[in-house]
Amino acid sequence: MLRVAGRKFSSLPWRSSAALYPNNPAAASSSSSQSPSISRSVPSLSPFSFNSQLPNLIRGFSSDALSRGHDVGMISDLPATVAAVKNPTSKIVYDEYNHERFPPGDPSKRAFAYFVLTGGRFVYASLIRLLVLKFVLSMSASKDVLALASLEVDLSSIEPGSTVTVKWRGKPVFIRRRTDEDIKTANNVDIASLRDPQEDAVRVKNPEWLVVVGVCTHLGCIPLPNAGDYGGWFCPCHGSHYDVSGRIRKGPAPYNLEVPTYSFLDENKLLIG
């Protein structure tokens, strides 16, 4: 009811003002010739058109109410949309049944509308970021693969001087708890005489614990612990001797035993890899 009342109120001054200035410069000549007739006919026609088209207004179809039927005469059987296409006019009529318009010349709510759209775009940007991350990170290693990549070892049961072998990534890893003598022996070596010169301090984080990968650097056999001439390991395949720090001393192997990445979680826990 309010909408229809607003329509009645706004249609009269709106139509007369629309007739006063033609908003289509291309059709200026045609509209100027039409405007005297329109301005004369508008006051008489608007209540007239209302009453004749009130049933259509009630039904809510806007095409009949907005069509220029009273000018064309409604002789042909054309639907209102086709008639509108065939008779272009600069007198644009908007359907105000559902939405009221601002009067012409009113500063629009453009900024407010744009900021509402910006709010939506915040959400879209966040969504795009989430989707990209999900799809790209889905290609990284899954948790079970990562779980196999590292190994936790409990060190509390290893006696000083003994060696423990654990399996990590398919390879044996020697963990030796060294006594003070072993550490002294490891440090008293002339570095320059080694085939692969490395200080003992470089190879261990905590001198008490030696962690090396138990694969001979010659051709990949597994050295035997507590064997060999240097108190460390002896590879039975070709006779490579490794010392207490896992360095090669005698035999065909070129490099020292590899030191993997490891860290101490607690006082008694070792995380390899």
Partner 1 sequence: MDSAIRRRSQGGLFEGLYRVIMRRNSVYVTFVIAGAFLGERAVDYGVHRLWEYNNVGKRYEDIPVLGQRQSEE
Rounded Cα distance between 252 and 230, Å, is 15
Q: Closest approach of Cβ 234 to partner 1, in Å?
A: 33
Active site residues: 238
* Choice between 75 and 123, CB closer to partner 1: 123
User: Computed over its alpha carbons, how large is the radius of gyration of the chain?
Assistant: 46
* Choice between 118 and 140, CB closer to partner 1: 118
Contact 60, 97 (CB under 8 A): yes
Distance of CA 64 to the CA centre of its chain: 50
3-state class (DSSP) for residue 154? strand
* Choice between 21 and 102, CB closer to partner 1: 102
Distance of CA 46 to the CA centre of its chain: 57
Distance of CA 229 to the CA centre of its chain: 59
* Choice between 48 and 115, CB closer to partner 1: 115
3-state class (DSSP) for residue 12? helix
Q: Closest approach of Cβ 130 to partner 1, in Å?
A: 9
DSSP of 232-261? EEEETTTTEEEETTS-EEESS--SPPPPPP
Q: Closest approach of Cβ 154 to partner 1, in Å?
A: 7
Q: Closest approach of Cβ 179 to partner 1, in Å?
A: 26
* Choice between 133 and 146, CB closer to partner 1: 133
Joined together, the tokens standing for residue 243 give: 């010392």
Rounded Cα distance between 178 and 24, Å, is 97
Q: Closest approach of Cβ 123 to partner 1, in Å?
A: 7
Which residues would be at the binding site for partner 1 (CB under 8 A)?
A: 102, 106-107, 109-112, 114-115, 118, 121-126, 129, 152, 154, 266
Cα angle for residues 194, 195, 197 (degrees, 5° grid): 55
Residues in CB range of 90: below 8 A, 6 or more apart: 22, 23, 24, 27, 30, 31
Distance of CA 226 to the CA centre of its chain: 54
